A and B are shown apart, each in its own frame.
Chain A
Amino acid sequence: MPAPSVPLAVAAPRLTAEALRRMLAERFPESGRTRSGELPTGVARIDEALGGGLPAGRLTELVSVGPSSGGQSVLAAALASARARRARAALVDAGEGFDPQALEDQCLRHLVWVRCRPILRALQAAEILVRDGNFALVALDLRGTAGADWRRVPATAWYRLQRAAEPGEAAVLVQTGEPRVPSAAYRLILDRGLGLGAMGEPREEIAARLEPALARDAAHRLRRAG
């Protein structure tokens, strides 16, 4: 004799948002954890906005809206910061725009530079790097890539990269020309161009002049919701 069927609404307790959150926290304790590790970029405004620096295990998107808005200076500062902290760094350069001659030779010795196209392959390379436990910074520079390339990147690829980064110690900095990364915990926008006068200034001073706008703070939103 078949067991009498029980209406689902009666059998299941009413699942409130609070109960759902608690249940998810119990089942996936890793997903909501806050991380204490940050890698300072050396750019005061960015470190201030992110609460100390690029967060380990999360994606931070840096959008450089126009030319000479300082994206490459932020990258150089972050690489120098990693070097000063005796940490390893990797740069996946999908636009092949990185110029090693623009940095001091001694500031490059900790760097693994990966040149690759298209974006999907760059994401694969970044995933391999974030899974390695040796890097404190994995930068993914996607500026200068073709629009058609972007259309071939499913949103799931970004969440996959985020999941790969979560258990690790690496801070992931994604540089784009416009907002593109759905899984970014933070999005910073650089939209004020620098002039030729900056060419004679020390890079610390240039970094101090950069004023990024914090356009997304998913981590803060999650903390508030929790």
Chain B
Amino acid sequence: MTKARWTMAGDTMKFAVVRAERFALQALRRTEPGLAGRPVGLFDLAEQDGDGGGEDAASTGRRPAAATGGVPAASGVVEVSPEAEAREVGPGMDAPLAMARCPDIALRRRSAEAEREAQAALLAASFALSPRVEATAAGVCTVDLQGADPVRTAAAARRLVGELAAAGLRVTVGLARTPLLAGYAAVWAALRAAGTMAGEGVFGLNDEKAFLAGLPVAAAEPPAEIADILLRWGVRTLGAVTAIPKAEFGRRLGAEGVALWERASGEATRVLAPARLPEKFEGEWDFAEPVETLEPLLFLVRRLVDRLMLELKAAGLAAAALRLALRLEDEGRYERELPLPEPSGEADRLFRVLHTHLEQVRTAAAVTGLRLEVKPGRPLVKQPGLFDTGLKDPQGFSETLARLAALVGAENVGTPQPARTFRPDSCRLARPEDMVPAPPPHPARGLVLRRFRPAAPARVEMREGRPWRIEAEAVGGAATRDVAACRGPWHESGEWWADTRWACERWQVELAGGGVYQLTRVGAAWAVEGVLD
């Protein structure tokens, strides 16, 4: 089989199958990082006993619930990790036997939630190849490539493998003339990758006859009974199956045998049932155990973000805003909408926004569930003015403002904007602009006021209608200081029509020992507003 030349040719690439080997295990590992690189055995969903999560034989030192109570002792694991397989643990073994062979095996149940998430990511990524995608089975998507450019398809398939690997799913892609053959090609790519770690996870099937001749019978998924019979006959490859005339094969093995023969010949074909992209971009997760720390929360957030970004990308959209909701153990709920400075299609950026926000969140109770919704928007296309002041990193700028707001309070961060009044020291802080227009000329005059907040009370002695001596803590302690020169007064008032009416008299004075200060008098009360510096 390996002597055949497997090359990609355009006319044979009509379908692609994207396949995740050991899908249930990969899906679980995406959500439970502690399982990476460890021997793991999975029990089926139907065997749940309702006690929550799985057991770790090594860490607990006792027999797992799966082996002792909830799961019948006779029931077997349905999927094992390569690490467990290397310790001679295989599908069908019951928990005690698996533990006897591999004491540190982690026994878990399949997670419907994790598989649903992984399947959604797989489906969304498959749309990168063509808009006609079928969610064929758990961990398998079939893509109709008819009309697609074969060279671009091969490159897109390689990118898809990389994107899904980044999202925690290792997949292979088979490209062939029929969905069935593409499925075989994907299986072969997985076998090749598992055996030698060679290849890029993409395999294009060209010489079908030579390929099928060497493929194991198991690739055609024969019923168990027929598989036993074929084993007894010494038939181990699909080539050996098709060497038997179809009629003879059918006469001995019945309708199921005929179907198997057709699958072995690669002739069986079918019409795809295309799936549709979701209209809402949202993800939800219920934690088996309430979460009290940031780490596990962030891990799940990352997975949701990865999947949602794949879906947005497939739809040609970008994320315009995020809506995060946390369900709490005390039935409470934390919800927050996080606007983005500009629509973004990068998972890393979105995750950074959520990470920054979650670092600042303190909840009254542990988190039991998480919901993340992405509001889609069109990717931003704009051309700033030639002399405008833009931002090198708008996303980073937004994060910086969020961090500062968390540190000093949102009311203390922003760009000062003048209020519509002449009242002294009245301005408000606004959110900094992403794009600042070109600056005007700079005609300002005089020294710059540095305020004392609050204004420092003062005693001022007047002579000939002018400040003569000053006594104020802010301008030299208890000692009285002579005024060397002064400017003023300026009478100012405003808002006479409202309860907030104000009026004051302002002076600028230079003291004999040095220092220029701004004074105000409201009624009979004097104050030093600040130093002119």
**Chain A residues in the interface with B (C-beta under 8 A):** 64, 66-73, 75-76, 80, 83-84, 86-88, 96-116, 121, 124-125, 128-129, 131-134, 143-144, 193-204, 206
Per-position 1/0 for B299-319, Cβ under 8 A of A: 000000000000000000000
Residues of the B chain whose Cβ atoms lie less than 8 Å from the Cβ of A87 = 389
- Within the assembled complex, what's the spacing in Å between the Cα atoms of A71 and B515? 12
Q: Enumerate chain A residues within 8 angstroms of B412, measured Cβ to Cβ.
A: 114-116
Docked Cα-Cα span, A102 to B416, in Å, equals 11
For A96, give the chain B residue with the smallest CB separation. B453
Closest Cβ–Cβ distance, residue A212 to chain B (whole Å): 14
- A86 to B446 alpha-carbon distance, docked (Å): 24
Identify B450's interface contact among A83, A99, A104, A110, CB under 8 A.
A99
Neighbouring A residues of B401 by C-beta, 8 Å: 112
- Residues of chain A within 8 A (CB-CB) of B440 are 104, 106-107
Known: A86-B387, A101-B424. A199 touches B533 (CB 8 A): no
B461 within 8 A of A: no
Q: When A and B form their complex, what is the total count of cross-chain residue pairs whose Cβ atoms lie within 8 Å?
A: 204
Contact call B415/A108, Cβ cutoff below 8 A? yes
Indicate if the CB atoms of B425 and A101 lie closer than 8 Å.
Answer: yes
Bound: A89/B274 CA distance, A: 53
Complex-state Cα separation, A132 to B418, whole angstroms: 26
**Given A99-B451, A111-B415, A113-B415, also A200-B436 (CB < 8 A):** no
Given A97-B451, A196-B485, A196-B487, 15 other A-B contacts at CB below 8 A?
Answer: A68-B510, A80-B442, A83-B389, A100-B417, A104-B444, A109-B437, A110-B439, A114-B404, A129-B400, A132-B400, A134-B400, A143-B450, A198-B516, A199-B487, A206-B447
Bound complex: CA A67 to CA B251 (Å): 108
Q: Is the CB of B450 within 8 A of A199?
A: no
A143 CA / B531 CA spacing, docked (Å): 12
CB-CB under 8 A from A106, the residues of chain B are 439-440
Q: By the criterion CB–CB under 8 Å, are B400 and A199 in contact?
A: no
Q: B interface, by DSSP: helix, strand, loop or mixed?
A: mixed
Given A112-B415, A115-B408, A134-B392 contact (CB < 8 Å): yes
| Inter-subunit contact B514/A109 (CB<8 Å) | no
B418 to chain A, nearest CB (A): 5
Given the interface contacts A103-B444, A105-B418, A109-B433, does A67 sit within 8 Å of B514 by beta carbon?
yes
| B391: contacting residue among A88, A101, A204, CB under 8 A | A88
Q: Which of A83, A113, A121, A131 contacts B407 (CB 8 A)?
A: A121
Q: Is B245 an interface residue (CB 8 A)?
A: no
Query: Contact residues of B with A, CB < 8 Å?
Result: 387-389, 391-393, 396-397, 399-401, 403-404, 407-408, 412-418, 424-427, 429, 432-433, 436-440, 442-453, 475, 484-487, 508-510, 514-517, 530-533
Residues of A close to B444: CB separation below 8 A = 76, 80, 103-104, 107, 202-203
- List chain A residues, Cβ under 8 A from B509: 196
A101 touching B418 by the CB < 8 A rule?
Answer: yes
Q: Which residues of A contact B407 (CB under 8 A)?
A: 116, 121, 124-125, 128
Interface centre among A109, A193, A203 (most CB of B within 10 A): A109
The residue in chain A whose Cβ has the minimal distance to the Cβ of B515 is A67
- Give the Cβ gap from B112 to chain A, nearest Cβ, in Å: 42
Question: Which residue of the partner chain, among B399, B415, B445, B530, contacts A97 with CB atoms under 8 Å?
Answer: B530
Contact call B443/A202, Cβ cutoff below 8 A: yes
- Provide a sorted-by-A list of 14 A–B residue pairs whose CB atoms are within 8 angstroms: A68-B532, A83-B442, A97-B451, A99-B450, A99-B530, A101-B418, A106-B440, A113-B413, A114-B404, A196-B508, A199-B487, A200-B446, A202-B443, A203-B448
